[in-house]
Every structure is written in C-alpha cells, then in structure tokens.
Amino acid sequence: MSQYLFIFVTALALALVFTPAAIKIAPKIGAIDIPKDNRRMHTKAMPRFGGLAIYIGTVGSMLIFLPYSTSLAGVTAGGTLMFIVGIIDDIKGMPAKIKLGFQVICAVILYQFGVGIFFIGNPFGNGYYFLPWFVSLLVTVIWVVGITNTINLIDGLDGLAAGVAFIASLSIAYIAHIDLRIEICMAMLAIAGSALGFLPYNFNPARIFMGDGGSLFLGFMLAGLSVMSPLKGATAVATVVPVLVLGLPIFDTTFAILRRLVNKRPIMEADKGHLHHRIMAAGLGQKRTVLMLYGISGIMGVAAILMSRDLFIESIFLVIIAATFIYVFLKDQSSGTLKLKAVNTESIEKMEKKQKQKRREV
C-alpha cells in the first residue's frame, strides 16, 4: 500500500509544481487558446499547456516507481508521441486527418509492444476466443483512437476532462488492485495523481487548460493501460469493465457522432451539442454542470467495480441510474429552451402592446 501512496503523491506533487510553470511558458511558445466562436465557454485568452504538467507527473512517477517492462515501454512511447502531437496542435494547429493518422500510428506502436485486444471473453461461460492478428490489430486501433478522442471531446468545461480522467483511472486502479494487477494499478494511480494535481488550476474559474497535449495523452494512457493486461482475462467482463468506467465520455462521443451523421455534418467538426453544453443550456453554471457529470462518472466507475466482482444485477442497476440522470438533464435542457422561447415570445408581445398603446396616445 505504501507503493500505491508514494506513486500517487509523487504524480500529484509533480503536477502541482509544473502547472504554474506551464502557465508561464504557454504565452512564450504560443500555446494560447483565444475564443474565436460561441462554442467556447471562456471569454478571454487562456494558456493551454497544462498537458506538460500532466505528462511529467504521470511519466515521471512511473519511471521512478515502476520496473521496466515491454508493455509499459510501449504505453509510455505511444503516450509520449501522442503528447507531442497534441502540443504541436496546441501551438501551431494540425488538420484533423493528420492528427487522426498519428493516433493510428500510436495505436500500432502499442500493438507492436504486445499491448492490445487479443481475445474476447465467452459470454456464455468461462474461457475466451483468440482473435486473428489482423482483427486484433483493427479492434485495438479502434479502441485506442476512440477512447483517446472521447477524453478530448469532453474537454469543454473547466475541470471536466481532468476530473473524469481522475475518477476513471482511480476506478480501474481499484479493480486492478483487487485482481492483483499491481503494475496497472500503480500506473493508473500515476494518472489519477497527475489529473488531481492539475485540477486546482483547471477547475472553474480555470487559470490554464490542459489542451490537446493533455487530453490526447490522458485518453491514450487510459485506453492503453486498460487493455495492457486484461483485468479479468477469462471472462467477458474483461472487455466490459473499461467501457463502463469510461461510459460517460463514450456516450457523449457516440451521441456526437450520431448527431453529426443525422445532420449531415463532418464527424470531426466541433459543435455545441455535447452533453455538458446541453446541461449548461438548462441554466446551470459550469461548476454545477461539472459536479453533476463527476457524479455520473463516479456511478459508472462503481458499476464497473461491481461488474468486475460478478455483481451483474447491482451493476446494471447503477447503469440505469446514470442513464436516468442523463435523460433528466437532457429533458431539463429541452424544457429550459422551451421556457426561454416562451419568455422571449411573451416579452416581444408586451413590447408590441406598449408600442401600440403609445401610438394611440399620440
């Protein structure tokens, strides 16, 4: 347990120390987020170099406390390249297709180091089915690219991506500890510590954003470590647990893709239809919206823990509760929009009546 505490505290301390440094460095290298459209929640230029602190906190503590292994080397190498790609995008910008290409390369690097989805559990009993190598590679690439982008896409409110990453990594760390996957547990605690150390500077009102360097790195690390050594390799639960833990960003990303396909818009095009945007539209502030989404993410994390213990009914019950919360929030957003329209219509009618009355008096 002392090892767990040491790696978590070290990552947290490194992130706390390097985040102020990142705030000072950002303007000098041009890593500044200037609000150019109404999709952004901030109104002033903000440094977006927080990924530096998250990267140093995570990788630094892993190098200090974890012994070398081929799998960890692959995750670290892919994560480093992903971080560099994100930083370049934060400073100079990068076309979506090129960024996607680098994400695929990072996933292939991971696979070459022996980290990937090589089998699926038998849903009807014990045992598992090995996948052909080309299927395994394809599934691994889809998983890594998908999860990497889910964290990137939810990074739309102060503290949201960092908090969700903290909750997700802590949940997987606990599951890994119970299953005696010490290496994964400690690596996940490094991510959790870095995310938590960055959060005081990123929570509303934020002083710095993590940028693509931070969100892409966090997403890649969560994706890679969650399949590095299946948490329960002999059952179908092995593939379900990471999906439950990351249920909130996965839902938001899937919903965004479907929404853009229905509206015949490019899948990679940014919009203001994400779950956090919709909750904000209901009249809630950033802090309340983020805390509510933390709650949903926490519920999904507990559901994943219960699922890993074969408590399927209890896990499904929690998933239903989380889904109900999301449904209520979306309905409130719709109701809030309708009320706002009604108020606007009523105000316009009152103004028209006053104008008519003034004309009669004249």
Q: What is the pLDDT of residues 207-224, one digit of tens each?
A: 999 999 999 999 999 999
User: What are the tokens at 301?
Assistant: 């994390």
Mean pLDDT of 131-148: 92
Q: Hey, where are the domains in the chain? A: 2-345
| 125 Cβ contact list (under 8 Å, min separation 6) | none
Residue 167 CA to residue 170 CA, distance in Å, equals 5
Q: What is the pLDDT of residues 47-66, one digit of tens each?
A: 999 999 999 999 999 999 99
Please state, as a whole number, how many other Cβ atoms lie within 10 Å of the Cβ of residue 248: 26
Q: Helix, strand, or coil here: 286?
A: helix
Q: What is the pLDDT of residues 237-290, one digit of tens each?
A: 455 777 888 888 788 777 777 777 777 776 666 666 667 667 776 666 788 888
Residue 37 CA to residue 35 CA, distance in Å, equals 6
Confidence of residue 344 (pLDDT cuts 50, 70, 90): very low
Mean pLDDT of 323-341: 62
- Give the model's pLDDT for residue 179: 86
- Contact indicator for 166, 301 with CB cutoff of 8 Å: no
Residue 341 has pLDDT above 50, yes or no: no
Question: 130: part of which helix (H) or strand (E)?
Answer: strand 128-130
- Contact indicator for 193, 17 with CB cutoff of 8 Å: no
Q: What is the pLDDT of residues 292-329, one digit of tens each?
A: 889 989 999 999 899 888 888 999 999 999 888 878 77
